[in-house]
Amino acid sequence: MSTRLALLRRGPLVLGLVALVAALIIWALRLPSAPSVSGQSLSGQVVQTAALRDRPYLVHFWATSCVTCVKEMPALVAFHQAFAEKGLETIAVAMSYDRREYVEQFVSERGLPFTMVHDLDGRWSEAYGRVGVTPTTFLIDREGRIAKRFVGEPDFEDLSRWLDRELSRKLS
């Protein structure tokens, strides 16, 4: 009888521990918030991620010296063109070590259709966790959370599927 009584007394404690572990797992799995960062685009426009609330956006770190970045740029352009009319904003961030004239020439020669920021002071890279490898891509949901992160060439099919779902989802 004393064993049964001991188990009954521990029941609420065990239940509380299970609830605590479940809450910690849910907390750990929640999506991190995207940083609020601002800068000036190559065209002179002010770019503020905080102003993009309620719409999805993509932040793509790249460099003209990055072979993978150059190779996948046409796919990024196609992705942007497929979703821009549906509300996606694309911000390409050229790394601080890239020479401005190289970035401007690259953008001009290819007619890149999205917002281009040259991260001269490293503010964007720092805000997104000290990005050092290019390409690195972040997809931000309409609630300002980092939903996807790719280091290396992004999976544009995966991004497209996610974005289709995100654009059809009601905001909470």
Task: Tell me: pLDDT of 32 over 50.
Answer: yes
The total number of residues written for the chain in this structure: 172
Averaged pLDDT for residues 37-44 = 94
Question: Residues 111-140: pLDDT tens digits?
Answer: 999 999 999 999 999 999 999 999 999 999
Distance of alpha carbon 131 from alpha carbon 61, whole angstroms: 8
Q: Which of 138, 141, 118 is nearest to 39 (CA)?
A: 118
Q: What is the pTM of this model?
A: 0.80
The count of structural domains within the chain is 2
Same domain, 18 and 65: no
Same domain, 51 and 90: yes
Same domain, 9 and 42: no
Same domain, 45 and 25: no
Pairing of strands 89-94, 146-151: unpaired
Q: Judge contact between 101 and 16, C-beta under 8 A.
A: no
Q: How confident is the model at residue 8 (pLDDT cuts 50, 70, 90)?
A: low
Same domain, 21 and 42: no
Tokens linked to 172: 């909470």
Same domain, 117 and 145: yes
Same domain, 93 and 138: yes
Give the structural domain span for 71.
Answer: 38-168
Alpha helices of 33-116 — where are they, by DSSP H? 67-83, 100-110
CA-only gyration radius of the chain, Å: 22
Tokens linked to 80: 């942007």
